[in-house]
Amino acid sequence: MNNPPPSDIPTLKVTLLLIAGLLTFGFAPILVRFATDVEPITLAAMRTFFAAFFLLPFWLKSRVSYEKLRTDGAKPYLLIAAGTALGLHFTLWIASLHYTSVASASVLVTIHPVMLIVAESLIFKKRFRPLVWIGVFIAFGGSVLLGISDDTNAGQFPNALLGNTLAFSAAVIFVIYFLLGRRIRQHTEWIDYVFNVYLYAAVVCIILTLLWTGGFPFISGTAILVGIALAIGPTIIGHGSMNYAVKYVSPTLLSTLILSEAVFAAIAAYFIFSEIPAPLSILAMLIIMAGVGFSWTRRLARKRH
């Protein structure tokens, strides 16, 4: 899991894709709020199915055989595992939005930087500068503070604890997905990875939907539009940009950057749903952004030289 040499990293392309990805991530919880008439797992199934469907023409044009993937080191069982993890991540995260606020769901689902920095350090023996560790834990502290601030608003979200637990579980599974993606992306092109992962995620979500609902559930036109929007925006552009960048950038740094999604989501929720963050929540968001800044300071400085 060594990073490519700096000269081999398409810095401008990675930067632009990450900016686009973060902006689309911020609108994911907003979109979900428009489709609360369907089961969370059904929405996750539509999101992953449409993502694979829209990518199918591009994959058919430049795909490589599974035998070639296996020979290159991207074993099919790893792709299946990554897709399964992503499907479960989407299901738990979307479910959390039915019980807790956009701000809390967005933050708690993105506390994975702490898990990742520990995993990369202990399992993969990767060394991080002290400033990165400081930034990750500052951001984590902001996440905890935001979760606490949500508990003070139990009247609006009486099942906030359940929602926050679902979001936290989604974060744990995301760590597994991201680490698998880091390993696989060293041996595959972007389109071969994302199409297969979204396809397997869709299969998992569809099977879970059929088991949970006992058949094909009713899906409104609004829910279908939301599923398409989630597929194109947060999934293909959002997750797709991260899946492209994870070949060149540490999963810990990427996951810390994703924490800023909560700020974009909270701002959008204020204008669209009139969800006004409490002063404590605003403080927590500022702490999160400070942590993200600390984590990336050294990397940005290196790029300027």
Count of the separate structural domains present in the chain: 1
Residue 91 has pLDDT above 80, yes or no: yes
pLDDT band at 303 (very low <50, low <70, confident <90, very high): very low
Q: Is residue 270 part of a domain?
A: yes
Q: Is residue 1 part of a domain?
A: no
* Exposure string over 183-222, b if 16+ CB within 10 A, otherwise e: bbbbbbbbbbbbbbbbbbbbbbbbebbeeeeeeeeebeee
Quote the mean pLDDT of the chain.
81
Whole-angstrom Cα distance, residue 294 to residue 288?
Answer: 10
pLDDT band at 103 (very low <50, low <70, confident <90, very high): low
pLDDT band at 84 (very low <50, low <70, confident <90, very high): very high
Range of the domain at 254: 6-304
Percent of the chain scoring above 90 in pLDDT: 17
Q: Is residue 160 part of a domain?
A: yes
Structure tokens at 118: 């520990």
pLDDT (0 to 100) of residue 9: 62
Whole-angstrom Cα distance, residue 231 to residue 217?
Answer: 19
Mean pLDDT of 192-199: 93
Q: What are phi and psi of 73, to 5 degrees?
A: 110, -5
The pLDDT tens digits of the residues spanning 35-78 come to: 878 887 888 899 999 999 999 999 998 888 778 888 877 788 89
The pLDDT tens digits of the residues spanning 150-165 come to: 555 555 677 778 888 8
Q: Is residue 99 part of a domain?
A: yes
